[in-house]
Amino acid sequence: MGVIERLAAGERLSLGEWRSLIADEETYPSSRLGELAVSVRDSIYGRRVFIRGLVEFTSYCRNDCYYCGIRRSNGKAARYRMTPESILETCVRGYACGFRTFVLQGGEDLFWSDDILVPLIRNIKESCPGAAVTLSLGERSDESYGRLRDAGADRYLLRHETADSAHYGRLHPSSMSLDGRKRCLWTLKRLGYQTGAGMMIGSPYSSVDTLAADMAFLQELSPEMVGMGPFIPHHDTPFRNEKRGSVALTLRMISLVRLALPHALIPATTALATASDDGHIQGFNAGANVVMPNITPQQEREKYSLYDGKKISGEEDGSDLSVIFDSFRKAGYEASMERGDYL
């Protein structure tokens, strides 16, 4: 059996096999991987792409990730923190527009204790019946993840960023570690969250080897969601002069993740749409099936600046859904506002 057939049969591949799938464009052309990925996706989810409302609710962060524009050491970053009331209001407004998943994302901001988050999650679940709440607040204690889950949180996004620990150490200060990140991911799975991992593509010092490690880790963890986007430098970070990640490689990795994890919910990310005008559609055509338009109130939106040029209008703007729906329909995709749980 060939490598692709073995992958389709659910087998774990070796790092060497992953390296060839990632790098050997001649034997495995991206166009072919894309077609296979699309047919796998279509057989499970059809041509529906799921729409999630993204609320970027705080730009304060205690971490200092070298790539990220809202890192602690960036004294020029504009900081804001929405109130629990305005987060709830934003979700309720989104619910009236039809959103059935709310993704609350932010920096690791210590203001957001469990005592504040638990009633907020409960209120959102109560005011928006049937909607899913997805959290993306970084690393917390097992106990905290448990309390937030008990309050009703359904899903949690925590990208592992890279599954190569030496590489992880070159992207983050020594206060953070790949082991810590992985422990959080396993805890989230154990607690019954639909769990999202993922990595930037083309981050500084990444290589075919680090991507192979990512694929092996994703096969092991088997997350319900996998977020990937090209690395895009931010001018006020140590990586300001580093090269942007490749769109083509990002698309290829989306296809490989789809083949490895057929049921995964894979977003065509804002970073992908920022790096390429046609990013969402290209992402779908590579095997993605989720989009997360921004429903953060306009005055905060531009302050959540993770990388330069981050798109906040057009298809990224959740207040103008008709734009999204039309452009997706033209490309043969039906935007779905359903909860869109993992099948």
Number of residues that bind ligand SAH (CB under 6 A): 18
> In this chain, which of 104, 256, 306, 324 binds ligand SAH, going by CB under 6 A?
306
CB of 38 to ligand SAH, least distance (A): 25
CB of 189 to ligand SAH, least distance (A): 16
CB distance 201 to 253 below 8 Å: yes
Tally of CB atoms within 10 A around 39: 11
User: Does 168 contact ligand SAH by CB under 6 A?
Assistant: no
Beta strands (DSSP E) in 137-237 are 155-157, 194-201, 225-230
CB of 197 to ligand SAH, least distance (A): 10
User: Does 148 contact ligand SAH by CB under 6 A?
Assistant: no
- Complete edge-to-edge strand list for the sheet that includes strand 194-201: 53-58, 101-106, 132-136, 155-157, 194-201, 225-230
CB of 195 to ligand SAH, least distance (A): 12
Cβ closest to ligand SAH, residue 105 vs residue 195:
105
CB of 274 to ligand SAH, least distance (A): 8
User: Does 234 contact ligand SAH by CB under 6 A?
Assistant: yes
Interface pattern 94-133 for ligand SAH (x via CB under 6 A): -----------x-xx-------------------------
- Beta bridge partners of residue 156, listed in sequence order: 135, 195
Residues 150 and 86: their CA atoms lie apart, in Å, by 23
Subset of residues 14 to 73 that bind ligand SAH, contact rule: CB under 6 A: 67-68
Residues 82 and 109: their CA atoms lie apart, in Å, by 12
> In this chain, which of 178, 200, 254, 286 binds ligand SAH, going by CB under 6 A?
200
> In this chain, which of 159, 172, 182, 301 binds ligand SAH, going by CB under 6 A?
159
Element (H, E) at 41: helix 30-45
- Please list, in sequence order, all residues whose beta carbon lies within 8 angstroms of the beta carbon of residue 127, skipping any fewer than 6 positions away: 88, 91, 92, 95
Amino acid letter, residue 97: C
CB of 81 to ligand SAH, least distance (A): 14
Phi/psi at 143 (5° precision): -65, -40
Q: Return residues touching ligand SAH (CB under 6 A).
A: 67-68, 105, 107-108, 136, 138, 158-159, 161, 200, 229, 231-232, 234, 271, 306-307
